[in-house]
C-alpha cells in the first residue's frame, strides 16, 4: 500500500515510480516447484502422466521426482505445484484411504476419493494447499474416469485434463486431438489405449520444448482392470 501513494502522489496524478524506502523481505510459506500433470480417460483405461523435473526459480532440484502417486489399484493422482504441500497432501490422502478401508472393509472408489479430496482441500480454504491435482482411475463400472481440481477443492469429472505449469499449452492441444474441437468433417473415433499413450508422449515432448519447468523425463501410469503399469520416457533436459 505504501508504494502506491508514492506512485500517485498527493494530488492524485501519477508520479514517476521510484521506491527508495526500506523493503521488508518476508518469509513466504509457498514456493513454486513446477511440473506438469496430465490425465486421459478411455473406455476401459485411464492414463495419468507427469514430468519428473522438480525446480525452484532458475534451478533444478531433481530430475527424477515424478508427480504421479498411486493411491489404490484403480486410482492414481497427479499433484504439481508446491512440493511441500504435494507431499503433505498425498500423506493425508494415504492416511484417509487406510482409515476408510479399516472402517468400511473396502477400498475407496475413484469418485469417492475425488469427493474426499475436495473437502480436504477446502478445509484449508484460508491457507490453501498450493497443489494442482488430477485424479485418474477406473470408476465402479470399470470405465476410465478423470477428476480435475483447483487448489481449493472445486472439481469435476472430465475426459481429459492437463494441470501444472504447462497446462495452458497442453489443454488446447488435447481439446483438439481428443475432443475434436475446432475441426470440421472429422470422424470422432474413440480413443484406444495405444493411441492415447502415444498422444501423451507427443504432447509432453511439445511441452518440454517451450516450458522451462517441464522436462527431464515423463512418467506414464496406465490404469486398467489388470492393474497399474508404469512407463518412463526421456524428455529434453534443458
Partner 1 sequence: MDPSGLKLNFWENGPKPGQFYSFPGSSLTPGCGPIKHTLNPMVTGTSVLGVKFTGGVIIAADMLGSYGSLARFRNISRLMKVNDSTILGASGDYADYQYMKQIIEQMVIDEELLGDGHSYSPKAIHSWLTRVMYNRRSKMNPLWNTVVIGGFYNDERWLEFSNLAVCLGLFSVRLFFVSMQPLMREVVENKVEITKDEARALIERCLKVLYYRDARSYNRHEIAIVTKEGVEIVGPMSCETNWEIAHMVSGFE
Measured from the CB atom, the residue of 59 and 182 that comes closer to partner 1 is 59
Q: In this structure, are residues 155 and 149 in contact, taking their beta carbons and an 8 Å threshold? A: yes
**Residue whose grid cell is 523435473:** 53
Separation CA 72–CA 93 (nearest Å): 11
Separation CA 170–CA 183 (nearest Å): 17
The helix/strand/coil state of 103 is helix
Query: How many CB atoms neighbour CB 32 within 10 A?
Result: 15
Measured from the CB atom, the residue of 85 and 211 that comes closer to partner 1 is 85
Question: Minimum Å distance from CB 105 to partner 1?
Answer: 14
Binding site for partner 1 (CB under 8 A): 24-27, 29-31, 33, 54, 56, 59, 61-62, 65, 82-84, 87-88, 96, 99, 103, 123-124, 126-127
Question: Minimum Å distance from CB 92 to partner 1?
Answer: 9
Measured from the CB atom, the residue of 83 and 219 that comes closer to partner 1 is 83
Question: Minimum Å distance from CB 127 to partner 1?
Answer: 5
Question: Minimum Å distance from CB 140 to partner 1?
Answer: 21
Three-class SS of 29-64: CCCCCCCEEEEEECCCCEEEEEECCEEECCEEEECC
Measured from the CB atom, the residue of 90 and 148 that comes closer to partner 1 is 90
Question: Minimum Å distance from CB 119 to partner 1?
Answer: 10
Separation CA 154–CA 185 (nearest Å): 35
Measured from the CB atom, the residue of 88 and 171 that comes closer to partner 1 is 88
Amino acid at each position: 500500500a505504501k508504494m502506491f501513494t508514492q506512485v500517485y502522489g498527493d494530488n492524485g496524478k501519477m508520479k514517476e515510480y521510484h521506491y527508495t524506502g526500506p523493503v521488508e523481505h518476508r518469509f513466504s510459506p509457498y514456493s513454486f516447484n513446477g511440473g506438469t500433470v496430465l490425465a486421459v480417460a478411455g473406455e476401459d483405461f485411464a492414463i495419468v502422466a507427469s514430468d519428473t523435473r522438480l525446480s525452484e526459480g532458475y534451478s533444478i532440484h531433481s530430475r527424477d521426482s515424478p508427480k504421479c502417486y498411486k493411491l489404490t489399484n484403480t486410482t492414481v493422482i497427479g499433484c504439481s505445484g508446491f512440493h511441500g504441500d504435494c507431499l503433505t497432501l498425498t500423506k493425508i490422502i494415504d492416511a484417509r484411504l487406510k482409515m476408510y478401508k479399516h472402517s468400511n472393509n473396502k477400498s475407496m472408489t475413484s469418485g469417492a476419493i475425488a469427493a474426499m479430496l475436495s473437502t480436504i482441500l477446502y478445509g484449508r480454504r484460508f491457507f490453501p494447499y498450493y497443489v494442482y491435482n488430477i485424479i485418474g482411475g477406473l470408476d465402479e463400472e470399470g470405465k476410465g474416469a478423470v477428476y480435475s481440481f483447483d487448489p481449493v477443492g472445486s472439481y469435476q469429472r472430465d475426459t481429459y485434463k492437463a494441470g501444472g505449469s504447462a497446462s495452458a499449452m497442453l489443454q488446447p492441444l488435447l481439446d483438439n486431438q481428443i475432443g475434436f474441437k475446432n475441426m470440421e468433417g472429422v470422424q470422432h473415433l474413440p480413443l484406444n489405449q495405444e493411441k492415447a499413450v502415444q498422444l501423451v508422449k507427443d504432447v509432453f515432448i511439445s511441452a518440454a520444448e517451450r516450458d522451462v519447468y517441464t522436462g527431464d523425463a515423463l512418467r506414464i501410469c496406465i490404469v486398467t482392470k489388470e492393474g497399474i503399469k508404469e512407463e518412463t520416457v526421456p524428455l529434453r533436459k534443458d
